[in-house]
Amino acid sequence: MSDFIQLHVLTAYPPANLNRDDLGRPKTAIMGGAKRLRVSSQSLKRTWRTSDVFQTAMGDDRGTRTKRLGAHVQQRLVDAGIDEKKARTWSNQIAGVFGDVPKDQVETRQLVHVAPEEWQAVYDLSDVLAEEKRAPEKTELDLLRARPRAVDIALFGRMLAASPKYNVDASCQVAHAITVHAAEVEDDYFTAVDDLNPGDEDRGAGHIGELGFGAGLFYSYICIDRQQLIENLAGDADLADRGVAALVEAITKTSPKGKQNSFGSRARAVYTLAERGDEQPRSLSVAFMRPVSGEDFGMEAIQRLEVQAQRFDDVYGAGADGRYAFCTLEAGEPQLNLLDGYGTLGGLRDFVTGDRA
């Protein structure tokens, strides 16, 4: 049985500011003595789980990360005719099940990932309280679920410091994406013209600004523990496979939203290698310890990935039971055993969710 699904993804971005640091500039990292552009795993995971691709595929089987659960409850109670002060007090008690809530407030101090059945339990209790015009009893505040039917929670986990028995261990690990080559953050000096300034007295710009950006070919690594994912979903293997398929499509087709209106830097993966197997997972980032250089970054990056995977196989034994890849570039002949050629996104989805006998 194949437990691990590993994805190695190359995505090329034109000038962009996908993921900003505290100064508003693209994030970077030093690797192999060279500066690389970087997109954090947090940014990538939010991009994927909130994408139209993932949300459409998962429907109601996904959670909501928020501090505002109590505010929704309070409004529901007020709309049902409950006095605002009582509604706030009762909402404080309900929200307190999910996290720390200051006295006389309704928002949790920390973000909480709430599953759909937990939302339903909250709304059902709110409706009962509104109908009976009373505060919740302690026995009614059992609102959390240990194995919620929310694929994003099952994939990326959640931590509830006040209720650790309801924590969910992530079944998907996501590395920070980095450029396969050395890269620098550049500055875009720009101006904006005042449309109503005739220029008779002042021909200067109405606004002057500066914005950091960078461009490059990024390597992303994702590892999914399928058995952990199924366990997180209370044994529902079909839902787990639907989640994996939706995640794969989101990974390959969506981009972080940072400064998209300024740069229009939407991109799709130019290469994706999927691996299935029981062996200990490993990233192939070492293939880019020496930065890619030359005229054809795409071709060289693909060849390096495949050669590195094959070298790991040669030293440690086969690192996967099977492999499948798709490529939108003229990449030449595959450099890997167990990989006969390049296919399509549809074929890759079928591969990662197919028969594991």
> Are 35 and 177 part of one and the same domain?
yes
pLDDT, average across residues 267-290: 96
> Are 26 and 54 part of one and the same domain?
yes
pLDDT, average across residues 292-300: 91
Domain count of the fold of the chain:
2
262 residue type, one letter: S
Is 159 part of a structural domain of the chain?
no
pLDDT band at 337 (very low <50, low <70, confident <90, very high): confident
> Are 230 and 329 part of one and the same domain?
yes
Per-residue model confidence as pLDDT tens digits over 205-256:
888 888 899 999 999 999 999 999 999 999 999 999 999 999 999 999 999 9
CA distances from 237 to 198, 242, 304 (A): 67, 9, 34
Within 13 Å and on the Cβ side, how many CA atoms surround 61?
20
Burial letters for 193-223: b for 16+ Cβ neighbours within 10 Å, e otherwise? eeeeeeeeeeeeeeeeeebbbbbbbbbbbbb
Q: pTM above 0.75?
A: yes
pLDDT above 60: residue 2: no
Per-residue model confidence as pLDDT tens digits over 5-17:
999 999 999 999 9
C-alpha R_g of the chain: 24
> Are 106 and 122 part of one and the same domain?
yes
CA distances from 11 to 71, 145, 267, 281, 357 (A): 40, 37, 7, 21, 32
- For residue 80, give its domain range: 65-147
pLDDT band at 338 (very low <50, low <70, confident <90, very high): confident
pLDDT above 50: residue 357: no
pLDDT above 70: residue 340: no
What token pair was written down for 220?
A: 């992303």
> Are 53 and 74 part of one and the same domain?
no
Is 280 part of a structural domain of the chain?
yes
Per-residue model confidence as pLDDT tens digits over 78-104:
999 999 999 999 999 999 999 999 999
Is 99 part of a structural domain of the chain?
yes
User: What is the predicted pLDDT for the residue at 198?
Assistant: 82
pLDDT band at 299 (very low <50, low <70, confident <90, very high): very high
pLDDT band at 356 (very low <50, low <70, confident <90, very high): low
Is 114 part of a structural domain of the chain?
yes
Is 199 part of a structural domain of the chain?
no
pLDDT, average across residues 158-180: 95
pLDDT, average across residues 36-47: 97
d(CA 34, CA 178): 11
Q: What dihedral do alpha carbons 69, 70, 76, 80 form, nearest 10°?
A: 160
pLDDT, average across residues 303-321: 95
pLDDT band at 32 (very low <50, low <70, confident <90, very high): very high
> Are 231 and 325 part of one and the same domain?
yes
> Are 52 and 123 part of one and the same domain?
no
> Are 121 and 260 part of one and the same domain?
no
Is 252 part of a structural domain of the chain?
yes
User: What is the predicted pLDDT for the residue at 91?
Assistant: 97
Is 254 part of a structural domain of the chain?
yes
> Are 130 and 17 part of one and the same domain?
no
Is 202 part of a structural domain of the chain?
no
> Are 295 and 222 part of one and the same domain?
yes
> Are 43 and 92 part of one and the same domain?
no
User: What is the predicted pLDDT for the residue at 60?
Assistant: 95
What rounded mean pLDDT belongs to the chain? 93
User: What is the predicted pLDDT for the residue at 331?
Assistant: 63
Q: Are 118 and 62 in contact (CB under 8 A)?
A: no
User: What is the predicted pLDDT for the residue at 59?
Assistant: 96
Looking at per-residue pLDDT, the higher value among 161 and 126 belongs to 126
> Are 55 and 70 part of one and the same domain?
no
